[in-house]
């Protein structure tokens, strides 16, 4: 009887297809391109960067391991500490402003009005357009001699002398923060708008019937329900502002006299034009602890389901 | 609640602040446009010419940009880099996202988390070691250095986006096909991917705009003018010493912004919904 059961002949092509249907084989093959590229150009350089921070590598020659020498010299480097101060100041002020204005804009956009879709599309433009190119527009707007802002203020009789936006350290910092906020508002506004639209209008109606004022409705309905999405957007915003390079490089290149360097621009300055790759890598590596802290904070924050559901912390 | 508000009140609380926001957000672009078409004698003589009007519009700035600089090279380079890096990343991301969400291999969740973390690694801490790798691979000063390094930020983003899309497609569809004897690859090609086309479009626009925007890698890995991308070229080649040719600079900024702005305007709804969807995930 056994002879009746012939093994089914399998063509070689079909054998490969069968083999490909094995979940683990297929998963491995599918993960290969992404994993290969990321390991080669992300994980490996990340490790290499930390290693370079412990060497005296220069452009054009291999370096030797020098332990913490880069970090020791950075600890006594005033420009480095100024860049750390600038990075925190820039991140703090820009983030607060972006969120305050972005939330306001989101609330405005959440009203019913004509041309709603068009207005929303226009709002996102600063976020779409290459940062460096809009930074150039700001550079021109901040020009010492032909600034349109100075021109308008002078015509209005508010100033008598053109403002030197980028020539004075404190002015230059403020100018950079304004440009960063301008670029960041759309992202915050559109994301928070999406959050606002998930809030049911009946909640507001119920609150209004109970006699809640505008502020009370915002405080007790909008704010808690918006919290989860706010937390995510905040994390992204802080990470990207903290590691920003483009705006500063395009507008001030760290000047006047190093006063607007962020850690990222200083790392570039020392490593590429300066040729000291090891020192630049050490500055870049010094940014990692902050990034890890910010990410972990938001990650664990989001894990707390209760908070996500809009209730207060215990 | 809007219907409870009176018109004058709405004008002050909604339309006025909204108009100010729109004016401020759009002004730099308007300014780029005005400067692009303005002759130099009007541009640099504010006492005789109002800055807001152009009395004699000129194409001289655009002419200078197109014929006296490598601008067209930069446009072509940016286009090639963006398209190739985008396709490469989407190919890798679709496969990875499918494996993570559908094949559910052992450790798929961990891999998903690692990809999310990869997205949080900023280019400004990778560019120094990447520069040394690019030199060692012999890719320094070629656009291929950019094509191969842009996926480091494109793949995590696209994979994340596609994972969300795949999750939204009912698994039952694939199970039916499996029972009917379709292979996994057939299922991906004939069932899942066609259903995920909106996701693919979003991934394409995002990846394309991100590549078009990229600056620090392009600044670090490419040095010859003819190999530069638009953002780097405009910033590093059009500024000669202390003399800024603002007309041409703004023309460069304007025309460098247009391709992404046009593409975005065609798919704006896609863009907004996936941007907000990705954040809500």
Q: What is the pLDDT of residues A149-199, one digit of tens each?
A: 988 898 888 888 888 899 899 999 999 999 999 999 999 999 999 889 888
pLDDT tens digits, one per residue of A189-241: 999 998 898 888 888 889 988 888 888 888 888 888 888 888 888 888 899 99
Looking at the predicted structure, is the pLDDT value of residue A30 above 90?
Answer: yes
pLDDT computed for residue A305 by the predictor: 44
CA torsion through residues B40, B43, B49, B52, sign: positive
Helix A277-286 / helix A78-109 crossing angle, nearest 10 deg: 50
Yes or no, beta carbons of A244 and B124 under 8 Å apart: yes
Alpha carbon distance B39, A35 (integer Å): 52
Q: Is A142 within 8 Å of A158 (Cβ atoms)? A: no
Cβ separation of A190 and B260 shorter than 8 Å? no
Q: Give the pLDDT mean for A47-62.
A: 90
| pLDDT interval class at A86 (50, 70, 90) | very high
How far is it, in rounded angstroms, from Cα B232 to Cα B238?
10
Helices (H) and strands (E) in chain A, counts: 18, 0
> Which among B28, B213, B268 is the nearest to A130, CB-wise?
B213
pLDDT at A311 over 50: no
Q: What is the pLDDT at residue B86?
A: 97
Q: Do the chains contact at B1 and A204, CB–CB below 8 Å?
A: yes
Task: Kindly compute the dihedral angle of the four CA atoms of residues A117, A118, A119, A121, in this order, to the nearest 10 degrees.
Answer: 90
Chain A contacts of B127, Cβ < 8 Å?
A: 268, 284
> Counting Cβ atoms within 10 Å, is residue B52 exposed (0-12), middle (13-18) or buried (19+)?
exposed
**Using an 8 Å Cβ cutoff, are B110 and A22 in contact?**
no
CA distance B144 to B135: 12
Res B72: pLDDT: 94
Pick from B129, B257, B279: CB nearest A129:
B257
Specify the pLDDT at position A8: 56
Answer whether B212's CB lies under 8 Å from B78's CB.
Answer: yes
Query: Which of A176, A166, A168 shows the shortest CA–CA distance to A90?
Result: A176
Task: Determine whether the interchain pair A137/B253 forms a contact, defined as Cβ–Cβ distance below 8 Å.
Answer: yes
Closest CA to A232 of B275, B200, B164: B275
* A35, A45, A295 member nearest B129 (Cβ): A45
A231 touches chain B (CB under 8 A): no
Burial class from Cβ neighbours inside 10 Å (0-12, 13-18, 19+) for residue B45 reads exposed
Q: Report the residue from A49, A186, A295 with minimal CB separation from B120.
A: A295
DSSP tag of A314:
-
pLDDT value, residue B4: 56
Identify the band that residue A129 occupies on the pLDDT scale cut at 50, 70 and 90: very high
pLDDT score, position A309: 47
ipTM of the complex: 0.90
Rounded CA gap, A33 and A41, in Å? 12
**pTM of this structure:** 0.89
Predicted confidence (pLDDT) per residue in B114-162, tens digit: 998 898 899 999 999 999 999 999 999 999 999 999 999 999 999 999 9
Chain B residue with minimum CA distance to A299: B117
User: What tokens does B15 get?
Assistant: 């339309």
Q: Is the pLDDT of residue A302 over 80?
A: no
What was the pLDDT predicted at A173?
A: 95
Helix extents (H) in B37-107 = 40-43, 60-68, 71-98
Cβ-count burial B54-80 (b if 16+ within 10 Å, e if not): beeebeebbebbbeebbbebbbebbbe
What percentage of chain A exceeds 70 in pLDDT?
90
Residues of chain B falling short of pLDDT 70: 1-5, 240-243, 277-281
Assess whether pLDDT exceeds 60 at residue A7.
Answer: no
pLDDT attached to residue B241: 66
Nearest alpha carbon to residue B225 among B237, B241, B240: B237
pLDDT at A242: 94
| Nearest alpha carbon to residue A76 among A87, A68, A86 | A68
Question: At A308, is the pLDDT very low, low, confident or very high (cuts 50, 70, 90)?
Answer: very low
* Contact between A36 and A30 (Cβ < 8 Å): no
∠ Cα A116 A122 A124 (to 5°): 110
So what's the pLDDT on residue A313? 44
**Distance from the A79 Cα atom to the nearest Cα atom in chain B, whole angstroms:** 18
What is the pLDDT, as a whole number, of residue A228? Answer: 80
Of B183, B177, B208, B172, which Cα lies nearest the Cα of B89?
Answer: B208
Report the distance separating Cα A32 and Cα B221, nearest Å. 26
Q: B240: exposed, middle or buried (C-beta count within 10 Å: 0-12, 13-18, 19+)?
A: exposed
Mean pLDDT of all residues in A120-139: 92
Helix (H, G, I), strand (E, B) or coil at B240: strand
Please give, rounded to a whole number of angstroms, the shortest distance from the CA of B224 to a CA of chain A. 15
Which residue is closest to A265 within chain B, CA to CA? B124
The reply to whether residue B126 touches residue A24, judged by beta carbons under 8 angstroms, is no
Sort out which chain A residues have CB atoms less than 8 A from B140's CB and list them: none
Look at B120 and A126 and tell me if their CB atoms are within 8 Å.
no
Neighbouring CB atoms inside 10 A of B231's CB total 28
Q: Which two tokens stand for residue A172?
A: 């230059």
User: Is the pLDDT confidence value at A17 over 50?
Assistant: yes
Question: Nearest-CA residue of chain B relative to A126?
Answer: B25
For residues A198 and A225, give the distance between their C-alpha atoms in angstroms, rounded to a whole number: 9
Q: What is the pLDDT of residue A307?
A: 45
Q: Which residue is listed with tokens 């991308």?
A: B229
A278 touches A266 (CB < 8 A) = no
CB neighbourhood size of B84 (10 A): 17
- What single DSSP character describes residue B95? H
3-state secondary structure of B239: strand
* A182/B29 CB distance under 8 A: no
Q: Do A133 and B256 touch (CB under 8 A)?
A: yes
Tell me if A127 sits within 8 A of B260, measured CB to CB: no
């Amino acid at each position: 009887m056994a002879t009746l059961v012939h093994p089914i002949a399998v063509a070689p092509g079909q054998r490969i297809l069968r083999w490909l249907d094995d979940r683990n084989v297929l998963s491995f093959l599918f993960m290969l391109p992404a994993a290969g590229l990321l390991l080669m150009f992300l994980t490996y350089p990340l490790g290499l960067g930390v290693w370079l921070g412990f060497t005296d590598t220069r452009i054009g020659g291999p370096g030797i391991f020098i332990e913490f020498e880069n970090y020791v010299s950075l600890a006594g480097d005033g420009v480095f500490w100024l860049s750390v101060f600038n990075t925190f100041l820039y991140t703090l002020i820009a983030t607060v402003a972006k969120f305050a204005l972005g939330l306001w804009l989101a609330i405005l956009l959440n009203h019913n009005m004509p041309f709603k879709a068009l207005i929303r599309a226009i709002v996102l433009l600063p976020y779409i357009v290459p940062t460096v190119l809009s930074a150039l527009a700001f550079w021109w707007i901040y020009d010492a001699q032909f600034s349109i802002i100075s021109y308008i203020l002078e015509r209005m009789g508010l100033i008598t002398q053109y403002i030197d936006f980028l020539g004075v350290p404190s002015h230059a910092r403020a100018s950079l923060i304004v440009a960063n906020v301008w670029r960041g508002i759309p992202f915050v506004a559109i994301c928070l708008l999406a959050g606002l639209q998930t809030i049911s209008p009946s909640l507001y109606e119920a609150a209004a019937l109970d006699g809640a004022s505008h502020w009370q409705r915002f405080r007790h309905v909008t704010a808690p329900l918006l919290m989860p999405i706010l937390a995510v957007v905040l994390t992204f915003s802080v990470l990207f502002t903290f590691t920003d390079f483009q705006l500063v490089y395009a507008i001030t290149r760290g000047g006047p006299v190093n006063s607007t360097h962020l850690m990222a621009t200083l790392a570039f300055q020392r490593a590429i034009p300066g040729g000291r790759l090891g020192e630049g890598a050490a500055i870049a590596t010094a940014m990692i602890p902050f990034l890890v802290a910010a990410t972990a904070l938001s990650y664990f924050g989001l894990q707390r389901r209760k908070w996500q559901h809009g209730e207060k912390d215990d | 609640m809007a219907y409870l508000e009176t018109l004058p009140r709405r004008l002050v609380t909604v339309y006025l602040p909204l108009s100010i926001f729109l004016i401020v957000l759009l002004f730099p672009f308007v300014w780029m446009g005005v400067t692009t078409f303005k002759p130099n004698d009007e541009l640099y003589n504010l006492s005789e010419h109002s800055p807001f009007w152009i009395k004699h519009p000129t194409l001289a700035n655009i002419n200078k940009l197109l014929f006296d600089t490598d601008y067209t090279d930069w446009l072509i380079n940016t286009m090639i880099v963006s398209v190739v890096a985008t396709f490469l990343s989407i190919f890798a991301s679709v496969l990875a996202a499918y494996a993570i969400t559908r094949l559910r291999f052992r450790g798929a969740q961990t891999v998903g988390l690692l990809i999310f973390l990869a997205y949080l690694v900023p280019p400004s801490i990778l560019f120094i070691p990447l520069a040394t790798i690019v030199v060692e691979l012999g890719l320094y000063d070629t656009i291929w250095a950019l094509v191969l390094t842009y996926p480091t930020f494109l793949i995590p983003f696209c994979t994340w986006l596609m994972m969300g899309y795949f999750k939204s497609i009912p698994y039952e569809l694939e199970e039916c096909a499996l029972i009917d004897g379709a292979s996994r690859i057939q299922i991906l090609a004939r069932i899942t991917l066609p259903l995920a086309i909106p996701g693919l479009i979003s991934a394409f626009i995002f990846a394309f705009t991100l590549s078009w925007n990229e600056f620090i890698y392009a600044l670090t890995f490419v040095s010859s003018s003819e190999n530069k991308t638009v953002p780097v070229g405009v910033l590093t080649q059009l500024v000669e010493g202390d003399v800024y040719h603002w007309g041409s600079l703004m023309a460069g900024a304007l025309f460098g912004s247009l391709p992404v702005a046009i593409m975005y305007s065609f798919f704006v709804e896609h863009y907004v919904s996936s941007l907000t969807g990705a954040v809500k995930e």
